[in-house]
Structure 1
């Protein structure tokens, strides 16, 4: 585009020897990250945003090998690796969808997690979205709209996302002809889609996932796009699926490759059931799960389908506070999955949720392994309220502090730490932890307000006074003021 200052560079070549279409962007990784931060800040505030430790742990077990494979293949150069966020955000939306945002933020709807039948299918979606970012397709499209300010582009992207759920909500962020411009900008070209397929296929294969998952997932997405498309800027349109692309993925599976059965894993079926329950917590939706585990109906299902049905019925009964039904379904689930280590662990965590909901902390703690809790996010987050309720708040805060050393942007960990500090009467530390929740979610204005509240608490003194924490609060407050000034200058 003339006059936008964009200079097309010679396309670099990936480890496959083919040119990367996303190279040559005029937008720096730092600028793209700032735009992504702005969009992610709003998504964290969205009521549909969800950080479920069990589902996120499962997704991360697929995501991290994909990132490692992209680095190994040379698809992820160090400058992008360091500059970008590489954050996954879960949404409770029931639509079958996933998307990439500037700065390597990735959205994943529970509707998609709920329909995949294997780890390989989910890996194919994540690898495809990852490849849009590593090939810099997003920044290249943004560069084409050089006359638009980055912040306006960010508002347009948020409007397009809002419109995929509620057409009327888009009017708050997109007006008039800007809607068309936003949709045009977000739609990846066919060449970019094909490249994301090609690179993503290589990445997931390198990571050890069955390449057949790509073709089978494409078929699911093609069907879902017909069901989801109401004509109101559905974000799924940004990934148009064609028979040609599906055939291309099928042809890439090496000839003579051993046949792979996609599906049948007990743990995958249980995670999918959890996603379906959490994406539809209406009373009628929860009650429908009881029908899934009627003896005659359950007997007709394969073992992995039985595991999913029993898991969903247990979680739904917990949400409905129907303790007897929850205990009955969970007991049957335990019996079914006892010989599968991964599935048995998920059942154990679900049991801890069940007993916590009933207020039976002793049984909940008996199901949680303290050794695993030091490294496993799901165990740690379930164990924290158990410890707080049983007078072990100090042990809870110490475990969370260890976790946060390696995961400083874990907002839910900071929130749990705030509750553990409050139980100990450490008021300044508790308020500071609440401020760190806002920092992790990129809401620096709210963080500064909480840091100032902690400063005021420190000045009041009393039982909750902590001079070391007060010093940390003063430093963090100054850092927030600096970040807010930088944001104001960027605008």
Structure 2
């Protein structure tokens, strides 16, 4: 199991795809637009291998509120890439297009093979607007749609994709030790891969150009690219202490910055926003708190919020949000409730911001054991704004209050639309278990493992379900015979995947 979500392994991010140093000149770079001999299926498989370990990483976080916010930016970018023809139907169907978030406080984002992206909370916490975050995601998306990763892997003719994946995972496993990480790189294979898996300057410029067009078509302010570049340029003047790994994985050049500035100058300047983006301010504050700062920093945020005077909402909102969430993590429920009241007053004129306050209120009340208060806070959210966070926050509270059947019905609809929603499968398993539908609960647990790419774990749960279905039971739940048939089909499919993975491991030895 990896010990941290890429923390301290930034010298190795290039092994994990995607860093942008100069490609070795020993072999020529294929011209942009050339195809890749690595199939999309092979690239997806390699990406799954890496992502499977990141899902197991203690720093991996599936926070419904932050995930919802990131998806509100990511989905328009995907739609724009489809409209522009950058995202072909083949890639759209075959790649995962998943964003995995990590609690790491460093400022980083990275692309993995097969349409997986990594995003550190440190980056969300430092960007000043959703437009800046969109600029980073659009750039990484364009690396994938242009198949930069697979084309660079083609240059590593001496190393198989599976060996590359193994080395990436090895690098992650030693990420707490720079010396050990360096030793991985210095190996013969490691040196060969590092010299090849580095984005060229041409690829970086192409990702800038295409990402800029995608973000602009998706409705994001193109100024986000320029302001993000300015922010990174300022960061580059700091000592290289590990705080800004994105600079090492995507080094700025005067040409790249000038190109973005020139593109923006050609566009008609948009009028300044009438209101500050209070939702982004709260999400950035949430990311900073959830990135696991120490108790002293949490207490500092609580104190700062408590001492806050009369200031504009744009300044007050992130301070109050961070203070309320920090107080809850410190188990100071009274302070958390007081700060939520002040936060709600500060965003009264912004419905989307009020939704975030209601979600925070519900979350903090649930932590404090006030389930009915949490459900009341969620019920106050307008129906047109309700989404995945509300469902996942309400589910355990409603299950405990005797409404497991209703919860199961909603979650069944959710996983039918998105079978990779691991958190929804977990709550669905809980809802089934509460109703005494053990067989369905076990299958939901198996589907949770599938969503996290742990096929061996999924097969284990499916076999447990088969044993349960064959054993002596009393009071079988309605429809168990149908469920047993579904389980048999799923078990055969997952077993085939597990056997294929085992053959691949044997081939590596």
Shift in Å, 1:247: 1.8
Count of aligned pairs: 474
* Equivalent in the alignment of 1:16: none
- SS at the partner of 1:244? helix
TM-score by structure 2 length?
A: 0.87
* Equivalent in the alignment of 1:270: 282
Q: Is the 8 A contact 1:164 1:234 kept in 2?
A: no
Aligned pair partner of 2:358 in 344, 348, 351: 348
Aligned pair partner of 2:347 in 316, 337, 349: 337
CA distance in structure 2 between the partners assigned to 1:269 and 1:32 by the alignment: 36
Aligned pair partner of 1:289 in 278, 292, 301: 301
Establish whether residue 314 from structure 1 lines up as the match of residue 324 from structure 2. yes
Flag structure 1 segments of 5+ consecutive residues without an equivalent: 12-20
* Equivalent in the alignment of 2:251: 240
Against the structure 1 CA distance between its residues 406 and 166, is the aligned structure 2 distance closer, same or farther, given a 3 Å change threshold? farther
Aligned pair partner of 1:56 in 57, 60, 67: 67
Shift in Å, 1:433: 0.9
CA distance in structure 2 between the partners assigned to 1:433 and 1:286 by the alignment: 36
CA distance in structure 1 between the partners assigned to 2:414 and 2:441 by the alignment: 17
CA offsets 1:60-94 (integer angstroms, 9 cap, x no match): 11111111111111111111111111111111100
* Equivalent in the alignment of 1:205: 216
* Equivalent in the alignment of 1:17: none
Establish whether residue 488 from structure 1 lines up as the match of residue 499 from structure 2. no
CA distance in structure 2 between the partners assigned to 1:302 and 1:411 by the alignment: 39
CA offsets 1:171-230 (integer angstroms, 9 cap, x no match): 797662444344333321111101100111111111111111001111223344565844
Shift in Å, 1:373: 9.4
Write out aligned runs for 1:102-251 (5 A): 102-161=113-172, 166-167=177-178, 170=181, 176-224=187-235, 229-230=240-241, 234=245, 236-251=247-262
- SS at the partner of 1:339? coil
Shift in Å, 1:285: 2.4
Shift in Å, 1:256: 6.4
Against the structure 1 CA distance between its residues 227 and 470, is the aligned structure 2 distance closer, same or farther, given a 3 Å change threshold? farther
- SS at the partner of 1:76? coil
* Equivalent in the alignment of 2:413: 402
Against the structure 1 CA distance between its residues 463 and 227, is the aligned structure 2 distance closer, same or farther, given a 3 Å change threshold? farther
Shift in Å, 1:428: 1.5
TM-score by structure 1 length?
A: 0.90
Q: Which has the higher contact order (CA 8 A, sep 6+)?
A: 2
* Equivalent in the alignment of 2:9: none
Q: Which moves more between the two structures, 116-125 or 279-288?
A: 279-288
CA distance in structure 1 between the partners assigned to 2:189 and 2:404 by the alignment: 52
CA distance in structure 1 between the partners assigned to 2:112 and 2:223 by the alignment: 26
Shift in Å, 1:375: 6.2
CA offsets 1:335-364 (integer angstroms, 9 cap, x no match): 111110110000001111111112222111
CA distance in structure 2 between the partners assigned to 1:191 and 1:318 by the alignment: 48
Shift in Å, 1:319: 1.3
* Equivalent in the alignment of 1:73: 84
* Equivalent in the alignment of 2:483: 469
Shift in Å, 1:487: 2.1
* Equivalent in the alignment of 2:38: 27
Establish whether residue 98 from structure 1 lines up as the match of residue 112 from structure 2. no
* Equivalent in the alignment of 1:41: 52
Q: Which moves more between the two structures, 105-114 or 177-186?
A: 177-186
Q: Is the 8 A contact 1:100 1:129 kept in 2?
A: yes
Q: Is the 8 A contact 1:451 1:477 kept in 2?
A: yes
Q: Which moves more between the two structures, 224-233 or 37-46?
A: 224-233
Shift in Å, 1:258: 2.1
Q: Is the 8 A contact 1:186 1:238 kept in 2?
A: no
Against the structure 1 CA distance between its residues 174 and 468, is the aligned structure 2 distance closer, same or farther, given a 3 Å change threshold? farther
- SS at the partner of 2:101? strand
Q: Is the 8 A contact 2:106 2:243 kept in 1?
A: no
- SS at the partner of 2:420? coil
Q: Which moves more between the two structures, 279-288 or 133-142?
A: 279-288
* Equivalent in the alignment of 1:428: 439
Q: Which moves more between the two structures, 230-239 or 208-217?
A: 230-239
- SS at the partner of 1:117? coil
Q: Is the 8 A contact 2:184 2:190 kept in 1?
A: no
CA offsets 1:345-399 (integer angstroms, 9 cap, x no match): 0000111111111222211111223984996100100110111110111111111
Establish whether residue 392 from structure 1 lines up as the match of residue 403 from structure 2. yes
CA distance in structure 1 between the partners assigned to 2:162 and 2:234 by the alignment: 34
Shift in Å, 1:158: 3.1
Q: Runs of 4 or more off by more than 6 Å in structure 1?
A: none
CA distance in structure 2 between the partners assigned to 1:145 and 1:256 by the alignment: 41
Q: Is the 8 A contact 1:118 1:264 kept in 2?
A: no
- SS at the partner of 2:86? coil
Against the structure 1 CA distance between its residues 66 and 140, is the aligned structure 2 distance closer, same or farther, given a 3 Å change threshold? same
CA distance in structure 2 between the partners assigned to 1:464 and 1:175 by the alignment: 60
